Amino acid sequence: MIIRNFWDLAICTSYSSHYVDQFDSNTPSTGGGLFTWVENVGAVTTIPGIRIQNVANTNGYWIRQGYEEGLKAEWFGVNRTTATLAASPTPILQATADTRYGAGVVVVSTDTYDRAALRSMFLAAASLSISKVNTQGVYQINRNVEIPKTINRLDWNGGGAEIRATVATAFSMISVETPTNEADAQIRVDNIYSISNLMLTGNGAISQTGLDMGPSFGSRYTGIHYKNLILGHISKFNLAARFENIRITDCTVGVRLTSGNDDLNAVLHWTAGTTGGSQCNAVTFNNVRAYHNTTGLVVIQVINANGITVRDVIIEGSRWEKGIELYSVLSTVKQLKVSDMHYECVTGTTAAGTDQAVVYVRILGGQILLDNFFGQYGAVLLDTDQSSGGAWVSIKITNLPFWVLQGATDGFWNGGNAQWEFSNCGGPFITEATAIATIKGTPPLLWNAPGDGTNRYIFTPIPV
């Protein structure tokens, strides 16, 4: 027997297996599947698209077959339009939404169907202890879709899907439920998120954040494209995360790594979150391409985190004021390693000392390693300033075959208290004199022996 809509099962009195055609009348071709009657178990709570109780028989329920292999967003009623539930051909008003999805603000009648479906998918995953979810095609959402923090393992196969914001209001498109306090955050740091092959697109007013991820350890974000967003991705207390094959297009900030307290803007992300009390240490970026048609602020922003590695980076378009930023007012164990970068922003950066650079560093102390950079347009390669009260900053620059200086003279800004080492560099850095002349701010002196102090340099030329 074929049942037209999932919700029709609630009044069906043929207690056997049925094939359902669609979720409801507003979601043609989505939500279908085989549902089997399970009897002699008593009443259960309905899970939209997955499980439903019959109103005349509380001694059983229908459940979707095959859901254990992974949930699909289409099962929860997708129509890929900007129409809201209330404005659909068959209006779904709030009273009906409360009955179907659960009372409160889980789903409201002003939500798009796609937003309701995605939110329902994550709620079902949490309720059924399912770790794998799947998407495909285009989804139109008009407010935040929250992932429950109780999902401690999430494997989201994006399937090349695009999630689009349909309104100009500011919101996080996909987020993880915020910890209640610092103790809760310490528990949730054991969560692991694997999200792959997904595009998140803002509405053009770039007032949205793409992914807003809470505490986790060892999460992996692969094949993600952030587009037209004020912030592509913010990771809070995501230790040992991996970003691979990432694209950032026309975002103000691409990826931000931060703690329970955003130390640049003093915004508490959860109750009792302390400055630097939870950090995104040991994060790796591999294969990143950032493009901006006009001006972006920063591609990768690291706040109070240590052991950050960035490999195979392409920064291009008109302008990015900062390529990679490392900011810390905490300990002196901050390390940033960037290798294999291609820089091609046609308007470059402003002059040295004006807070624009391909690599921008404000830390108490630590180590900066830059290897194998190629720059096609005039830009300051590194702007470093050791923060007050810290130790010294060690800078090692190796294997630069070619770089175009900003204004033909500016390659670096030395804010003081730094150690500089050049090795095997070409272009304007091929000789000791030309390399050191590109360091503006506090000019370093030649290092002679231990005890010479900071603002010194070592230069090793290309072997001939």
- Letter for the amino acid at 362? R
Instruction: Give the Cα separation of 243 and 313 in Å (integer).
Output: 12
Q: Is the pLDDT confidence value at 200 over 90?
A: yes
Look at residue 41 and tell me whether its pLDDT is greater than 90: no
Structure tokens at 343: 């820089």
Do residues 438 and 429 lie in contact, with contact meaning Cβ atoms separated by under 8 Å? yes
Domains of the chain (ranges; CATH) run 115-460 (2.160.20)
Is residue 256 pLDDT above 90, yes or no?
Answer: yes
Beta partners for residue 371, in sequence order: 339, 398
Q: What is the mean pLDDT of residues 378-403?
A: 91
Q: Which residues pair with 261 in a beta bridge?
A: 268, 275
Decide: 190 and 153 in contact? Cβ < 8 Å: no
Question: What is the C-alpha to C-alpha distance for residues 274 and 312, in angstroms, rounded to an integer?
Answer: 33
Task: State residue 259's pLDDT score.
Answer: 80
Name the band, by pLDDT with cuts 50, 70 and 90, for residue 390: confident
Residue 272: per-residue pLDDT: 79
- Give the pLDDT score at 277: 60
* Beta-carbon contacts of residue 105 (< 8 Å; ≥ 6 apart): none
pLDDT at 78 over 90: yes
The answer to whether residue 275 scores a pLDDT higher than 80 is no
Can you give the pLDDT at residue 398? 97
Among 272-286, 329-343, 418-432, top mean pLDDT goes to 418-432
Q: What is the pLDDT of residue 261?
A: 67
Residues constituting the chain: 464
Mean pLDDT of the chain: 93
Question: Taking 70 as the threshold, does the pLDDT of residue 263 lie above it?
Answer: no
Q: Is residue 96 over pLDDT 90?
A: yes
**What is the tens place of the pLDDT at every residue in 140-168?**
999 999 999 999 999 999 999 999 999 99
Predicted pLDDT at 269: 81
The whole-number pLDDT of residue 374 equals 97
Locate 414 and state its tokens.
């030395």
For the segment 364-389, the average pLDDT, to the nearest whole number, is 92
Task: Please check the confidence at residue 266 and state whether its pLDDT lies above 80.
Answer: no
Confidence band, pLDDT 50/70/90 cuts, at residue 330: confident
All residues at 6 or more sequence positions from 129 whose CB lies less than 8 Å from its CB, including other chains: none
pTM score, whole prediction:
0.96
Percent of the chain beyond pLDDT 70? 96
More confident of the two residues 194 and 264: 194
CA atoms within a 13 Å half-sphere pointing along the CA-CB vector of 174? 27
C-alpha distances in Å from residue 145, one per residue of 177, 197, 213, 256, 270:
10, 18, 12, 20, 18
pLDDT in tens, 207-248: 899 999 989 999 999 999 999 999 999 999 999 999 999 999
Q: What is the pLDDT of residues 104-134, one digit of tens each?
A: 678 999 999 999 999 999 999 999 999 999 9
Q: Classify residue 294 by burial, with Cβ atoms within 10 Å: 0-12, 13-18, 19+.
A: exposed
Are 77 and 23 spatial neighbours (Cβ–Cβ below 8 Å)?
yes
Residue 388 has pLDDT above 70, yes or no: no
Residue 270, both tokens: 């959860």
At residue 402 the predicted structure's pLDDT band, cuts being 50, 70 and 90, is very high
pLDDT-derived band at 377, boundaries 50, 70, 90:
very high
